[in-house]
Chain A
């Protein structure tokens, strides 16, 4: 609002030198550093994804065009899939046998077709690291630690998070965890899949201990962020900001923090036990020594299922902000959206068993977990309907963050509904470990979390950098990613429901019976490259704004939440005067904010803000 010439220097220019960044206690700078690290990891994980998709297009493109001799004449492709669990292998083999393709014991490991992009060993490592990097380094910390760190104290009208040193420690731990992952990459890789399933993870000769310790450290980073956010929300709200005057993004971060704090320690102890198993032969997961490998799956999913809500909830928070702002309308059903975040956080702890429908879990347990799984869809649907109701009769402007929010609605809708197929016990037995699972997961995690992350990045970009980006380029990037993502993953639903198993290095033998697999795989790969192009456009758009963008006004979108009531970028202490809210303040009452054509910004003070 008041960026007169007497305004103090913003946080970007308050201190100089690399040390003023590495050892800063300013939540905004820590958020920006997280953003840089996460973006770098995203590039690395994305390159792995492109390698996988390129590799998988080759069997389709070369099938039938080459003499049979160059393709291995025998071979059960399952032999080169990462052996996640023996039962899974048996299932896959049985599925093929049922289709009339008798599996043989011979392995294609020795006879790699020379023209494939990756060898089987490389392929297993690449998809493992793609998953591990994307999950642990990108989408878990993505929205909370990068965007949340920057925005949360601003939204609350606070000067910083409750524990700035812990916040910095969290970032330093993230860096150390990332270094462990890079060490894995350069010292022999990891081929267990990101899930570290025993007994394979305790017997493979790849770098499981390094990777497990890396994930352990990243877990601590995540816990520290969670503790910080809980204490910040409880203790540092601006005067007059009651719980129901908090923006919905804060509610979603709060629910996320609760999961981070309650679930992550269990992953920590599990990974420590895997490391101890490998280093000392502890035996807790080794049936030969009286242990139980399925216990690992229980422990792992007790964390990792709630963890998918760590990933998606903050994205839902971003969407809540964007949809209200760009519909110029009060959010519909504020309390329902707020409470549904908490409900998802709590229900998410009760459904982990749906990852073990085919792992020898009892039938009763399977039925209970299946039923509980459906309960999560209720709060998720509540959110979607409230967003739709918010847009109804709103004055919608399709600016870039809104494009991402709409993409989120569409993609999360598909991802969420296909989750019901997998949550249902009977259909899951058919679909598990096929490309259907891959497609579902990517629709939710990429189409949901990453798209929301990109939306949030564009939404708060003017606040973070003080620069406006080019709307045309921004929308073009959003469109390319939206189309590319659908093109990549929608064919995979078809592939999976027709029985193409995931994690296969080579599916050329399936093509005789399923010639349609070829075209679908090529489409999917083309989609991956279109998505990659979309990311290039996003990078160009944002880099261009840093270079040439016009200076951002305090409130470019016309939102009433507090982060827009300070300059862009904010001063080091966030607000020149701590905001004080009166009883009438409402973070979604937008009518007092008027667009001013001359300045290209919204003018006016939200109701109830002194």
Chain B
């Protein structure tokens, strides 16, 4: 167990104290050295990310249970999600993770302008992601594809007569391309009569409950990430960071990668079901 002791940064602190270095401003009073402070922060952030994973794991668990209980609902309902928009958002988030990683590198190399630029791009990506998410949510809202308590798919209401049904379907088709301008058409594998009530399994809303809970919680984390990146950006503009003190950039970066990672799981689980 002595190797555990060896891992702790006592050696570092010993040096800095014997050398009687002045305590720089960016090292809090209770740390012996910048390195000890950085390591403590990093450990703290990793532990925090563990709590985040467990936070989402409740929903992943619920997903598994309900997909097991209602497999037909998941296969049926996922056709209402727009794969192209989902893929676009995946690409946007992965790209933003790259720029975030580059921002951390820039901070370590004391490249202040590059740091600011990369943080700005990351922020921009976050806003693009939320914009696309908004478009998707609006489509769902317009078609009544909401969580179980509010689920009233336009197709399901129109089972009184063929005319009403076709009118509704027409509206749905018209709405499809307009809302998803980046996507040329409604996904081809969407069953043409998907909205016809006799084909729809019962309790379709349970899929949308999970969908909104998971993507909604994820979107809240993106918003939190925007706050964190903005904070880092302001500090970068103020010139707080240097090659010995870049911890906060690194920590926010780790958080941002986790937000990205959660989406990378959400995308196939929700959009790419077979």
Query: Which A residues are within 8 Å of any B CB, using their own CB?
Result: 158-164, 166, 223, 226-228, 230-231, 234-237, 239-240, 242-244, 261-266, 268-270, 272-273, 276-277, 280-284, 286, 289-292, 295, 299, 573
Contact = CB atoms under 8 A, between A and B. Distances in A.
B184 interface: no
Contacts of B65: 292, 295
Contact of B62 (A160, A244, A268, A295): A295
Interface stretch (B39-47, B120-128, B230-238, B265-273): B39-47
Given A243-B5, A262-B50, A266-B55, A283 B147 contact: yes
B40 A269 contact: no
Main secondary structure of the interface of A (DSSP, over half): helix
A13 B168 CA distance: 74
A276 B205 contact: no
Nearest to A27: B30
B69 interface: yes
A284 B9 CA distance: 47
B47 A227 contact: yes
A159 B149 contact: no
Interface centre among B9, B41, B206 (most CB of A within 10 A): B206
Contact of B39 (A163, A235, A240, A284): A235
Given A223-B51, A261-B50, A290 B43 contact: no
Top 5 nearest A-B pairs (CB, nearest first) are A281-B149, A283-B148, A290-B203, A290-B206, A289-B148
A290 B73 contact: yes
Contacts of A235: 8-9, 36, 39-40, 43
B182 interface: no
A158 B39 CA distance: 16
Contacts of B210: 284
Contacts of A239: 10, 13-14
Contact of A291 (B8, B10, B209): B209
Interface centre among A164, A277, A281, A573 (most CB of B within 10 A): A281
A236 B40 contact: yes
A130 B7 CA distance: 46
B45 to A, nearest CB: 9
Given A160-B30, A264-B51, A269-B58, A234 B43 contact: yes
Contacts of B70: 290
Interface in B19-58: 28-31, 36, 39-41, 43-44, 47-48, 50-52, 54-58
Interface residues of B, number: 50
A345 to B, nearest CB: 14
A290 B205 contact: yes
A242 B3 CA distance: 9
A162 B31 CA distance: 8
Contact of A163 (B13, B44, B209): B44
B33 to A, nearest CB: 11
A508 to B, nearest CB: 41
Nearest to A240: B10
Interface string B173-200: 0000000000000000000000000000
B44 A231 contact: yes
Contacts of B47: 226-227, 230-231, 261
Contacts of B43: 162, 230-231, 234-235
Contacts of B69: 290, 292
B8 A234 contact: yes
B142 to A, nearest CB: 18
Contacts of B28: 164
Contacts of A263: 54
A237 B5 CA distance: 10
Contacts of A163: 40-41, 44
B13 A282 contact: no
Contacts, number: 145
Nearest to B9: A235
Given A235-B8, A266-B58, A289-B203, A281 B50 contact: no
Given A281-B150, A282-B149, A284-B209, A265 B44 contact: no
B58 A283 contact: no
B137 interface: no
Contacts of B29: 159-160, 573
Nearest to A267: B58
Contact of B54 (A262, A286, A289): A262
Contact of B148 (A234, A240, A270, A286): A286
B66 A280 contact: no
B44 A227 contact: yes
A508 B66 CA distance: 44
Given A235-B8, A235-B36, A281 B55 contact: no
Interface centre among A235, A236, A266, A289 (most CB of B within 10 A): A235
Interface centre among B10, B56, B66, B210 (most CB of A within 10 A): B10
A549 to B, nearest CB: 30
A149 B100 CA distance: 35
A290 B66 contact: yes
Contacts of A281: 147-150
B147 A280 contact: yes
Nearest to B147: A282
Given A239-B10, A268-B55, A228 B205 contact: no
A550 to B, nearest CB: 32
Contacts of A160: 29-30
Contacts of B206: 283-284, 289-291
A239 B61 CA distance: 44
B188 to A, nearest CB: 28
Contacts of B2: 242
B59 interface: yes
Nearest to A224: B48
B50 A282 contact: no
B30 A276 contact: no
Contacts of B1: 242-244
23 contacts: A163-B44, A223-B48, A223-B51, A227-B48, A230-B44, A230-B47, A231-B40, A231-B41, A235-B36, A242-B1, A269-B58, A280-B147, A281-B149, A281-B150, A282-B148, A283-B206, A286-B149, A289-B205, A290-B66, A290-B70, A291-B206, A291-B209, A299-B58
Contact of A283 (B5, B36, B209): B209
Contacts of B39: 235
B149 A283 contact: yes
A156 to B, nearest CB: 11
